[in-house]
Each structure stands twice: as C-alpha cells, then as structure tokens.
Amino acid sequence: MMPVRRPILPLRCGAVLALFLALFFLPAPGVSAQQTAAPPLPAATPADPQAQIAEWERSATRAEEALQAGRASTEELEILRQELAEHRAQAETIADSGHVVIRVLKAQVATLGPAPAKDQTEPEPLAARRKQLTETLLRAEEPAIAARLAFARANVLIEELDALVRSRSTSDLLAQKPSPLMPSSWSAAGSDLVRYYTKVREDTLRPRTQDGEPVASFEDRLLPAALLALAALLLPVGLGHLVLSRLERRVRGSPGSSTFLVKVAGIHLLRLIFGLLAASMLLLALVLLEIGPTSAEGLSAAVIVSFFIFLLAAWIGSILFSPQQPLIRLLHLGDRSARACYWLGIAFAASLTAEAIVDGASEDFAFSPAGLAALQGVSIVIGTIVLAGLARVLLSVADELRQTAGADDDNPLGPGFFTACARLMQVLAVLSLVAAALGYVPLARAALAPLMGSVAVFGLAFILHYALMVPVRGGFRRQESTAALVSMLLGVVIVLLCVPLLALIWGARTAEVSEVWRIIQNGIDIGGARLSPKVFLVLVVSFLVGLFLTRWIQRIVDRVVLPKTRIDRGARNAVNTGVGYVGVILSALIAISAAGLDLSNLAIIAGALSVGVGFGMQAVVSNFVSGIILLVERPIKEGDWIEVSGFSGVVRKIAVRSTRIETFDRHDVIIPNADLISGTVKNRTLSSRIGRIVIPLTIATDVDVERARGLLLSVARQNGAILPTPEPRVFLTRIGGGGRDFEFHCFLRDVGSEVATRSDLLFALNAAFEREGLAAALT
C-alpha cells in the first residue's frame, strides 16, 4: 500500500492565489499537475457502443474492487475517480443524444392509438406498422438504457470514492505526531537537516553532462545567478521602490476625479510590473543554479511559489494600506495602523513561505516524524504570532472605521467584518498552539495556511469590488440609492466567485469542486421541475422582458389610446390596471414556458398548499377577489367621492388588496376591498356630479313669508353653481316657537363644490336681507 500524502497546504494556497491574481494579468507560478490540472474533457464516443459499454464495465469493476479491498492509495483512487467521471459524462451524452429519436418514435406509436385488448384485433397493415415501430423503439432505447445504467453506477461509485478519500484526509488530519516540545524532536530535526543539506550539496556539486558535453559546475553557475539576483534586488526592487515612492508623493487632486484614479491605477500597475520583473529574475537565477532537477525539487517549487506569495502580499498591502501615501490608501486608516497592517501582511507572507519551505523539503527528504514535527512546529509558532498580531491590528482598524465611515460608504467590508475576523484569528492562534503542543501538528497547520490564503482572497475581492464600483459611482453620482444597490449586487457576485477559491484553499479537492459545479449546471430536480443556472437565467430574463413590455404597453394605452376615447378617468385607470395584471400573468406564464419548466408534477403539492393558504390568507384572498370585482364592475372608481366606514373622501387608488381614499383633511385612509363590496358604500359621484344642497333657515314671525321666499329664490338664481333645473325650492317646515323654519333646496352642478356654494349662498342671503332692512329677521 502506498503512503497517503496530504497536499501541501502552502503550495495549494500559493497556487490558488496565483490563479486569482491571473485576473489582474499575473501569470500563475508552476505547481504540480496533480494540484491544479483540470480533468480532461470527455473523449469522443467510439463508433461501437458495445466497446464503449465494455470499457465502462471494466472501469466500474476496478473501482468496485478498489473500494472493497481498501488498499489502493489516494493517488490511485483519484485516477479511478477521474476515469469514472469521464465515463459518466460520456454516458450522459449518449443518453441525451437519442432523446429526440425516441420521442419521435413514441409520438408515432401514440398516433396509432392504444393497442387492442386481448380479445380484440386491428387491421393487418396497422398491426404490422405498430409492431415495426415498437421494435425500432426498443432498439433505439437500448443504448440510452445502457448509458443511463452506466451513469447511475458511475455516479454511486464516484460518491463512494469521494467518501473514502475524505475519510482518509480526516484521519491524516487528526493523526497525532510527536510533540514539537519534546527535546528528542529537536535532536532529530537537527540530524535530519544536516543529512538533507549534505545530500543536496553533494547532488548539486556532482559533475553533469548533456549530450556528451560537460555542464558548467555549480561554482561557475553561482556567480551569474548571484549577479542576476543582485540585479533583481537593485533594479526592480530598489530602484523601482524609489520611483514608485516619488510618484506616490506627487499624486494630488480629488480622490473621486478621473485623473486621480488614472494616476493611482498607473502606480499600482507599475508596482505589479516591477514585482513580476523581480520575481522573474529571481526565478531565472534559481533555474540557472539547476537545483530543481536534482534532490531539491520540492524545495525549489516552494521557493518559486514564495516569490509570488511575497509579490502578492506586497501588492495587496500597497493598494489597501499604502503606508507612504494616505491619499491613495484604499482603506481609510491612520498612518500607524496602515503601516502595521502592511508589514503584518509581509509577515504573513513570510510565515506562509516558511511553511511552504518545510513542506517542500519534506517532499524531497524522508524526515523522521519527530524531526518533521519540530520543523513544522517552528512554522506554526511563527504563523500564530503573526496571526495574533494581525488580530490586534484588525481590532484597531475596526475602531478607526467606526469613527471615520461615512453614511455613503458602500464598502462591503465594514468594522463588524474586521472585528469578526480578528476574534476568529485569536481563537485559531490559541487552538493551533494547543493542538501542536499535544502533537496534533497536521490539525494545527490545517488552520493557519488556509486562513492566510483566505485573507489574501478577501483583500483581492475588496480591490476588485472597489475597481468595479469606480465607474458605477461616476455613472450614478446623483443616485446614491442605485449605486448602493449595485454595490451590494457586485459584492454578492464577487463573494460567489470567491467561494470555489476559498474551498480549494481550505482543503477541498479539485474533483469535489468540479462535482459541485456539475450538479449546479445540471440543476436540481424539484417535483419534476429541474432548476439550473441556465433555466433560472432564462426564467428571470424572460419575465423581466415581459414586465418591461407590459409597462411600455401600459404607457402607450394610458397616454395615446385612452385619451382619444370618451372613457372617463376612472374607467381609464381600471383599464390600465387590468392591462398591467394581465401582462404580469402572461409574463410569468411565458417565462415558465421559455425556461422549459413542467409544473404539472407540482399540481398535487400546490393543491395541498392551497388549502392551507386559503385558510391562512382568507382575508387577503377575499380582498384580492373584491379588488378584481371593483375593477370590473366599477361600483366605485378613482376620483369618486364616497362615504364608507365613517369616512368621507375622494378615491385615489384602487389596488388588488385595498383602496386608498383621501379625506378633505388631506388624510389617507386605507379601506380593505372586502368592506367596499360587502358593506354599505355611499358614492356621491357614481352616475353624475350633480348633487342637492339643503340649507335650513329660521325667520322671525313678523316677516312676510313670500317676501323672504322671493329673496331666497333670487339669490339662488344668481349663483352660477346652482342648476336652474330642477329649480330651487323653499319649504316651510315649522311654525311657532318665535319664528318660522325653512329649508332651501337646490341642485349643484358639481357636488364637490358643496361647501363653497353653501358659504356663497349664506353670504348672498345675508347681504340681500340687509338691503331689504330685514337683517334682524334671521334668527
């Protein structure tokens, strides 16, 4: 049985971070193919289906034997899993390729009608045709059935292989090693390092030949490599640092201006170019020494990854913290906190580098368990110290952000995020030290390197979010709410993109990430309806397009079509609202149809749910149905003056659940639609705007009644708001008690002017009685 070896965490983190940095035009460093190589594409289906099925059978049988025996190494299990994944993809392709032919044959068989019963017969040509189609259908379904069986078998075997690999990884993670605190561990580590150095030195100094010609000795190659490394330190690093520092000090202007942003982006791009140039020169120096092809392959790979880890840490730190120029600092921190964060980021890179070097050396040389535990303990101590220091700085950063964050700050990483990260780092630092002291060195290391890689990913995500928000803020400068919404959506998208990278950093296998992506692509079956990203996208886009067309049609109907008709305003609003409801319903149905969703299987579930929804939402459903009745029957319409439930006002909006009326005190009253349908409603403007007004008067007994009546009718005829037909009338309602009581009845052209007309009539009557010397007659 081959030994089970865990992937090197620092090298994995470096490879994943380099892949993320490739989004910023950084080439990824060379890492082992096992860690980063994507599974090959499915091979083309052979012409002979039987050969294909036999190949699937052999692969599945080998996988079953390996699972039953349990003696295969993790590397062999990964190879078997990759082969099964290829065969599963081939089987899925074959099962889907014949789908159209099978559907056509089934449609033809269905066209012939149901087969006759046992005691019935059918015409001979029809029977022959049915038999021919049935045989053809069976032959067409054979490859698809075999492919579906192979797909199901491979799918189960892949799940079992993944479970076995995960269980082995968990066992390795929880394995107890010799404690790094034991003196014997340090003694073994010293002996192992001496032997490793001797082996590397002897292998490096051994003379080599290439094509029969001797290759230059190590001493001859040492000077050019040293000069190349020195040139890298002096030119890109030293001189480049001076140039960038001078350029940073010259940056002036408003942080939100385009000129300022272009200057800052140019400085960060130059820093990245200088860093890549320095890393490339150091890498060339390492290749010139020819250490890698000898006994230090793993160590050389670790050194190469370390170059890019330092480059990434310095680049992210300069963008986020900018210790020399506060004006271009992405995080608004104090100078002291910014410098501390920057150098702690470099210390993080150093800690990750130390761990990578230990892992790379362990790949080249068989260190004793005690010696390897001691060396890994050193990297753990360095990592926990840096982690604790960064946690303290992050707490101070969170305090500064709470004091300086503005109301329009749309950064997704706020003070709460930094505080949570700081507390998590403190807990992990303590737990890592305790686990390492007890001998659980793999468990202690499993938290440090991924956490450092996660911090780098979040830093890059923050930079990416800020860069994408620059044009958004410029385009929505006067629409802060829209910019905040776009910021939130971008944050969600970036987080979703970071999830696979974080999964790889925290130990997930590439095969597992690919499997999750395959499941997402194929979709999830819910009640016979398969939901996938493609289906969801088609569903959302189709519905949004339908909603846009509905709103567009509503605007045309409301502004172009309806004004040319004789329909009143209330009817126009009802028609426009109905067009909107119909458009939304049609948009939803068309979107479901375009996405290819078959919701017939959900009918039983929907029926069961509708019972509970009907009881729980009885009032809502009643109001909804009442709203539809109001829009169709139109007993009231927008603009009507109604009296209901003790309120009097003008109808402003009829919705599907409630109706809003505006009282004459300018108060809005929300009336459930069910009250308007089942209750008593007084609509004063349903059929017309004409309304009657009644004014009660009391006149002294010594006044001539006919004279007073003539004055009342004369005043009414002079008021333009009162209709001549029906003509105004004066009624004597009571005699006695020191006076005579009258009621003055007249009809208004617009009942909405009742208060104003009543006041005008009373003023006019008072003036008329004063002219006639009868002012004292009104009591």
574-588 tens-digit pLDDT: 788 888 888 888 888
| Main-chain dihedrals φ then ψ at residue 366, nearest 5 degrees | -80, 85
Question: Residue 504: inside a domain, yes or no?
Answer: no
pLDDT of residue 602: 53
pLDDT of residue 30: 33
pLDDT bracket for residue 35 (50, 70, 90): very low
- 213: which strand partners? 210
Co-location of 358 and 400 in the same domain: yes
Co-location of 233 and 316 in the same domain: yes
Nearest Cα residue to 490 out of 458, 467, 456, 517: 467
Helix H or strand E encompassing 531: strand 529-531
- For residue 491 the two structure tokens come to 């944050």
pLDDT of residue 567: 74
CA atoms of 292 and 301, how far apart (whole Å): 8
Q: Give the strand pairing for 682-683 and 641-644.
A: antiparallel
Lowest mean pLDDT among 21-25, 119-123, 227-231: 21-25
Q: What is the pLDDT of residues 136-174, one digit of tens each?
A: 888 877 888 888 888 889 989 999 999 898 888 888 888
pLDDT of residue 219: 61
Q: What is the pLDDT of residues 616-643, one digit of tens each?
A: 667 777 777 888 788 777 888 888 888 8
CA atoms of 658 and 644, how far apart (whole Å): 13
Co-location of 698 and 727 in the same domain: yes
pLDDT of residue 552: 92
Mean pLDDT across the stretch 713-726? 87
Domain that holds residue 103: 43-173
Residues in the chain: 779
18, 28 Cβ separation under 8 angstroms? yes
- 23: buried, middle or exposed (CB in 10 Å: 19+, 13-18, 0-12)? exposed
Question: Residue 493: inside a domain, yes or no?
Answer: no
Co-location of 336 and 433 in the same domain: yes
* Mean of all residue pLDDT scores within the chain: 79
Given 633, 659, 683, the domain boundary residue is 683
CATH number at residue 144: 1.10.287
pLDDT bracket for residue 45 (50, 70, 90): very low
Co-location of 52 and 136 in the same domain: yes
pLDDT of residue 549: 92
Token pair 């971070």 is found at 17
Question: Residue 22: inside a domain, yes or no?
Answer: no
User: How many independent structural domains does the chain possess?
Assistant: 5
Co-location of 199 and 165 in the same domain: no
pLDDT of residue 23: 41
Co-location of 191 and 275 in the same domain: yes
pLDDT of residue 252: 77
Nearest Cα residue to 87 out of 50, 47, 48, 41: 41
DSSP per-residue codes, 613-670: HHHHTHHHHHHHHHHHHHHHH-SS-TT-EEEETTEEEEEEEE-SSEEEEEETTS-EEE
Return left, alpha or beta for 747; rule: phi > 0 is left, psi -120 to 50 is alpha, else beta. beta
Given 644, 666, 683, the domain boundary residue is 683
CA atoms of 441 and 174, how far apart (whole Å): 9
Query: Does the reported pTM lie above 0.95?
Result: no
Co-location of 401 and 474 in the same domain: yes
Helix axes 74-97, 124-173, angle to 10 degrees: 160
Q: What is the pLDDT of residues 275-299, one digit of tens each?
A: 888 888 888 887 777 654 466 778 8
Lowest mean pLDDT among 35-49, 626-640, 730-744: 35-49
The pLDDT of residue 19 is above 50 = no
pLDDT bracket for residue 216 (50, 70, 90): low
Which amino acid type is present at position 576? N
The pLDDT of residue 590 is above 80 = yes
pLDDT bracket for residue 695 (50, 70, 90): confident
CATH number at residue 637: 2.30.30.60
Lowest mean pLDDT among 4-18, 586-600, 691-705, 737-751: 4-18
The pLDDT of residue 91 is above 50 = yes
CA atoms of 730 and 744, how far apart (whole Å): 5
Lowest mean pLDDT among 528-532, 582-586, 701-705: 528-532
pLDDT bracket for residue 408 (50, 70, 90): very low
pLDDT of residue 608: 58
Top pLDDT among 559 and 532 is at: 559
Q: What is the pLDDT of residues 649-675, one digit of tens each?
A: 888 888 877 889 998 888 899 988 888
Mean pLDDT across the stretch 724-733? 88
The pLDDT of residue 57 is above 80 = yes
pLDDT of residue 603: 58
The pLDDT of residue 494 is above 50 = yes
The pLDDT of residue 265 is above 50 = yes
Nearest Cα residue to 352 out of 707, 18, 708: 18
Co-location of 195 and 298 in the same domain: yes
Question: Residue 13: inside a domain, yes or no?
Answer: no
pLDDT of residue 407: 43
- For residue 155 the two structure tokens come to 């799918």
The pLDDT of residue 7 is above 60 = no
pLDDT bracket for residue 568 (50, 70, 90): low
pLDDT of residue 2: 38
pLDDT bracket for residue 609 (50, 70, 90): low
List CB contacts of 741: < 8 A, sequence separation 6 or more: 696, 697, 698, 732, 733, 734, 735
Question: Residue 578: inside a domain, yes or no?
Answer: yes
Question: Residue 230: inside a domain, yes or no?
Answer: yes
Nearest Cα residue to 651 out of 665, 634, 637: 637
98, 45 Cβ separation under 8 angstroms? no
Co-location of 299 and 400 in the same domain: yes
Co-location of 760 and 701 in the same domain: yes
pLDDT bracket for residue 6 (50, 70, 90): very low
Co-location of 404 and 327 in the same domain: yes
CATH number at residue 771: 3.30.70.100
Omega within 30 of 0 (cis) for the link into 500: no
pLDDT of residue 294: 60
Q: What is the pLDDT of residues 413-448, one digit of tens each?
A: 567 877 888 888 888 888 888 998 888 988 888 878
pLDDT of residue 272: 87
Separation of first and last alpha carbons in the chain: 119
Question: Residue 326: inside a domain, yes or no?
Answer: yes
Which amino acid type is present at position 228? L
395, 424 Cβ separation under 8 angstroms? no
The pLDDT of residue 100 is above 80 = no
| Main-chain dihedrals φ then ψ at residue 250, nearest 5 degrees | -90, -5
pLDDT of residue 32: 35
CA atoms of 626 and 566, how far apart (whole Å): 26
Question: Residue 259: inside a domain, yes or no?
Answer: yes
CA atoms of 92 and 147, how far apart (whole Å): 7
Which amino acid type is present at position 141? E
pLDDT bracket for residue 33 (50, 70, 90): very low
Which amino acid type is present at position 220? D
| Angle subtended at Cα 719 by Cα 713 and Cα 723, rounded to the nearest 5 degrees | 80
The pLDDT of residue 34 is above 60 = no
